Structure formats: C-alpha cells, structure tokens
Amino acid sequence: MSLETANTSNSYLSSLPKTLTGITGLDEITKGGLPKGRPTLICGSAGCGKTLFSIEFIVRGALEFNEPGVFMAFEEKSEELAQNVASLGFDLNQLQRDKLIRLDHVHIERSEIEETGEYDLDGLFIRLGYAIDQIGAKRVVLDTIENLFSGLTNQGILRAELRRLFEWLKERKVTTIITGERGDGTLTRHGLEEYVSDCVILLDHRVSNQISTRLLRIVKYRGSMHGTNEYPFLINEKGISVLPVTSLTLDHPVSSDRISSGIPALDKMLDGQGFFKGSSILISGTAGTGKTSIAASFANEACLQNRRCIYFAFEESSHQIIRNMRSIGFDLQTHIDKGLLKFQASRPTLNGLEMHLVAIHRQIKEFKPSVVILDPITNLITVGTVSDVKSMLIRLIDFLQAEQITVLFTALTLNNVINEQTDEGVSSLVDAWLLVKDIEFNGERNRGLYVMKSRGMKHSNQVREFIITDKGLDLVDVYLGSEGVLTGSAREAQQLLEETGIVLREYATTRKDREIERKKLILESKIASLKEEFESVQDELNKTYIEDELRKEVMQKNREQMTRSRHNE
C-alpha cells in the first residue's frame, strides 16, 4: 500500500495514501483526499448533498484522474440520476458509453420479497464485482446502502454481510464512498459508522436568519491530519466547492511592485507610485462621496494595463455601474468585451456570508484576476454580524494575499462623529486606508480625501479635495486660510484672488525696475563729470611740476657756465 502514493503529492508521502477527489477545496481540508482503497462514510440529513457529493467524486475521478468508477444507486434510478446531474454539466450517459463510469440501480422492495431462511448478499457482491471488473474501476459509491435495511428484515444477516462487504471492498483496493442518512442522535440511522472506521464526513444544511448554509465537517479521519472546522460548501452549476475556513499561517509572500490607483494625484500622495501589488485597500466614506468612482477608476486602470479585474457589486447592477462610470469618462464596457473585466453583481441577501465567500473564491479561482473589488462590504452586514463579516474578510484577505491579488474594498460610514472607528473593523486588517469625507462649507458640499494609513510607504498627510469631472477623477490641494479649509468655489475664488495678486505684483515689479534704471543713468552721468573734473585738476598739477623741473634744469646750466668761465680766467 505504501507504494501506491503515485497520485498524491510528495508532502503526503509519510501519511497514509490518499485519493484526490477533485472536489474544489475538499482535497485541501483532507490534505490530499480520501483514504485510498478504503471506504469513506458520508452522512447527512435528506437534501444535504450526499448523492451529488458522491457522484462528483466518481465523475471527477473518471475525468480528471483517470480512475473509472462504479455508482451503485439504491435510491434513484440511473436515468433519474443522469438527469439530476446533467445540470452540473456531467453527462453520465456519455461517460457510461466511454466505459469511464458505470451506474447500477439496485431496486429492492420488501413487499415483493419473502424471506424463507438463511441467505447472503452474494448477488450484490457479484454484481458489484462484475461492474468493477468491466471498467477497471478504482472508485465505488454505494448510495445509500442503508436502503437494504428497509428491503430486508434479517438484521443479523444484513450486518454481517455489510461488514463482509466493506472488507471485500478493501481487498479489491477500491476507494469507496458509502452514504448514509443521518439518524436520531447517531451519524447514520443504522449505525454504518461502526463498519467504516477510516473516514467519516458529515454534511449539514442549516438555516439561520432565513439564510441557508451548507456545511461539511470531517468527523474522523484515521491516520491523517485533517481540518476539524465546519467548512461551508456551495453547490452550484459547477458542482461542489468547499471552502477552507482559515489559513493557519501568516507567511504569504509579499511584493514590492506597485500598482497605480488610476488617479495620478492619488499615486503622488502614495509615495508617487500607488499601492503595493497584492495589498488590501479600504476606501471608506459617507454616502455619495465617490467611493464607487474610485473603485471603478482603479478597475479601469488595472484593465488599461492589461491586468484582469473582477468587480463584486453588492449594491448596484453591473449595467448601472457601467452607465454611471461612462459619465465620468471610464469606458468599462470595452474592458468587459476584451475579457479583462468581470462584474459579479448580487444582493448580499442572496446567500449567507460563507456562501458569498465561497462564491467569491470560486470566481477568483476561475477568472484569475490580479485585482479584486468589493463594493461595498458594508452591505454584507445585512446577512451577518460585524464579527462574522470581519472574520469573512480576514479569510478573504488571507486568500487574496496568498494569491498576490490586490483587493479594494469600499465601505460606507455613517455620518457620525466617530466614523473613523466603524468599517466593520477591517481598518486594522487592510494595508492602505483612504478616507473620503464631506466638507460642508459656504453653502456647498465638497469632498475631501486623505490617506489614513498606507503600510510600508511614505504617504502624504494632506487633505486633498477630491473632484469628479467628466474626464475622470482628480485631487487638488485645498486652501488653508484664516477661515479654515477652503474647498469648491471658495477654493476657486481663492485661486482667482491669487492670480490677480500675481498680475499686480508683476506690474509693481516692472515699475520698480524702471525707477532703478533711471537712477542708474543719473548716477552714471554724475560719475562722468566728476571724472573730467579730476582730469583737469590733474593737468593743473602736472603743469606746475614740469615748470619746476625746467627751472631747476636752467639754473643748473647757468651755474655750470659761471663756474667754467671763472676757471678760465
């Protein structure tokens, strides 16, 4: 047995060999699937999805893992079964023709049968064995074998034979699912859990606040680690998906790549580059402050950069958003046509919270977006308590961060004083938090935006005015004057005032310049006349000096002549 771990991943080598079910999420919870070559019991009340669960196990085995399977139905006829699962895209008839699966309906009716002594279930064994041999089955489902108890009366024989059947199935090394109806206080009505000791999975269907949730729990899994929580699961047109409730660790990879918000001025507030890729962003604000517009801008920018984006709208329909965003210059329809953008609009009350989470998971797994938008998360509060919503969002953020998907939430805050503290308590979870606020002043209402926090980057501490134009969104500086923060027309008036000031200043400057020029000219002419005066004085002085020299020379000559004449005498 230990050699047969071929189709389980390496990390499960040490534990017992398992068979992947192919059911979304279940293989993660069970850490590799159901025990290979052993029976697993799936129990639950009527309508909880046992049959669907087991049929998906068979179909996925046949299609994805090349493990043919036998489905032995004790309740529904083969045709009914094929019809019931056709809505999931499973073509049982075709699969039967391809010899990948085999359906066998076991009909048993007490009124038609007389028990006249000792018997055994060899008929069932032969039948099952023949079916297994015919297609080389590796998987078997017995749904619901307990029906034998209503057809046959001799409990002693039945119990002994069931025990023998499960042993026989183990010998045949087929991975088996046995379904059982939930009993009163016991897992199954006839105590099948006694015989199936390896793995027991309980399905449940609960309704609270008029919203139903399907839940799955692994009651027992001998020789294996498994998740012990109740995991919500969803049945939709793609089959079953189970959601692992919590990720246990906080060790997801982080990226230092940046992703633009679509508003250049906002990127500038965020260290000039925008948000981190794979981070979570919260935009909160009161009604009508433009949260959806920011979200749409972000989606638009992502699509323009060829990133895929999925938009979960809980308030407006997709058409409504597309129309509204066209008015501010975002053409979302082209992105949808290109397959880059996907809208998923639903009322929160459509599902329970868990179901929303499962549905979101599923959409994300399918669409593989790099940007996810939830607008607004506040509406989810209608289907759960604050702590429920918070725990759901934690799980969603964990999941998205592990997948390196950037997520943007919008949240409505009520118009009260302590609005910084609401937001479903997610503000502490998110990496970046933008707040859009109404600023009411001077008979008009304007929007102010600021960055409350943005982990891991320098960010502006300024309140900016957030304006929505038909060309898109922009942020402008607000004016802080003696009368407080100025926005809107007051800001514009201030701007005009400043512009006038500039013109006046410029005029004043040119006048001063001319004055200086004139003064300079006067002074320069003064300097010139002084220079000439100086030169004339200098001439005068030079004249007397030369006269003195000449006189000295003449006198010298005269003296020499006189001396000579005296000597001659």
Partner 1 sequence: MINQSPTQENTDPEDEGQHYVLQLFVTGISLNSVRAIANIKQICEQYLPGKYSLEIIDVHQQKTLAEREQLIALPLLIKRLPLPERRLIGDLSDTKKVLSGLGIIN
Query: Contact between 159 and partner 1 (CB under 8 A)?
Result: no
Question: Which positions ≥6 away from 56 have C-beta within 8 Å?
Answer: 21, 22, 23, 88, 90, 239, 240
Residue 323 and residue 303: Cα distance in Å, rounded?
17
Choose one: 5-13, 128-136, 305-313, 398-406; the region binding partner 1 (CB under 8 A). Answer: 128-136
Site string for partner 1, 98-117 (x = CB under 8 A): ------x-xxx---xxxxxx
Does position 121 interact with partner 1 (CB under 8 A)? The reply is yes
Strand residues in 325-458 grouped as ranges (E):
341-345, 371-375, 406-412, 432-441, 444-454
Which part of the chain contacts partner 1 (CB under 8 A), choosing from 129-137, 316-324, 392-400, 440-448? Answer: 129-137
Among 80, 89, 130, 387, binds partner 1 (CB under 8 A): 130
Asked if residue 132 binds partner 1 (CB under 8 A), the reply is: no
295 contacts partner 1 (rule: CB under 8 A): no
Determine the Cα angle at 181 with ends 87 and 144, to 5°: 65
Distance, C-alpha 10 to centroid of its chain:
29
Query: Which CB, 102 or 182, lies closer to partner 1?
Result: 102
Q: Rule CB under 8 A: say whether 119 interacts with partner 1.
A: yes
Among 64, 120, 331, 420, interactor with partner 1 by CB under 8 A = 120
- Amino acid identity of 391? S
Task: Indicate left, alpha or beta for 363 from its phi (over 0: left) and psi (-120 to 50: alpha).
Answer: alpha
Q: Rounded to whole angstroms, what are the CA distances from 451 to 277, 406, 420, 463, 464?
A: 17, 18, 12, 8, 9
Query: CA 469, CA 271: separation in Å to the nearest integer?
Result: 24
* Joined tokens for residue 30: 């069970």
Q: Give the nearest distance from C-beta 111 to partner 1 in angstroms.
A: 10
Smallest separation (angstroms) from partner 1 to the CB of 5: 33
Give yes or no for residue 145 binding partner 1 (CB under 8 A): no
Q: Whose Cβ is closer to partner 1: residue 127's or residue 170's?
A: 127
Contact call for residue 148 and partner 1 (CB under 8 A) = yes
According to the binding rule CB under 8 A, does residue 156 interact with partner 1?
no
Per rule CB under 8 A, is residue 126 in the interface with partner 1? yes
Q: What is the DSSP string of 249-277?
A: ---------EE--S-HHHHHHTTTT-EET
- Least Å from the CB of residue 169 to partner 1: 16
Is the CB of 120 or the CB of 549 nearer to partner 1? Answer: 120
Residue 433 has φ and ψ, to the nearest 5°, of -135, 120
Is 106 or 373 the residue whose CB approaches partner 1 more closely?
106
d(CA 253, CA 505): 56
Give the count of beta carbons closer than 10 Å to the beta carbon of residue 264: 15
Report the residue from 52, 151, 168, 438 that binds partner 1 according to the rule CB under 8 A: 151
Site for partner 1 (CB under 8 A): which residue of 6, 118, 532, 539?
Answer: 118
Determine which residue in the list 41, 131, 218, 463 makes contact with partner 1, applying CB under 8 A.
Answer: 131
Q: For residue 241, give both structure tokens.
A: 């998906």
- The contact set with partner 1 (CB under 8 A) reads 104, 106-108, 112-124, 126-127, 129-131, 148, 151-152
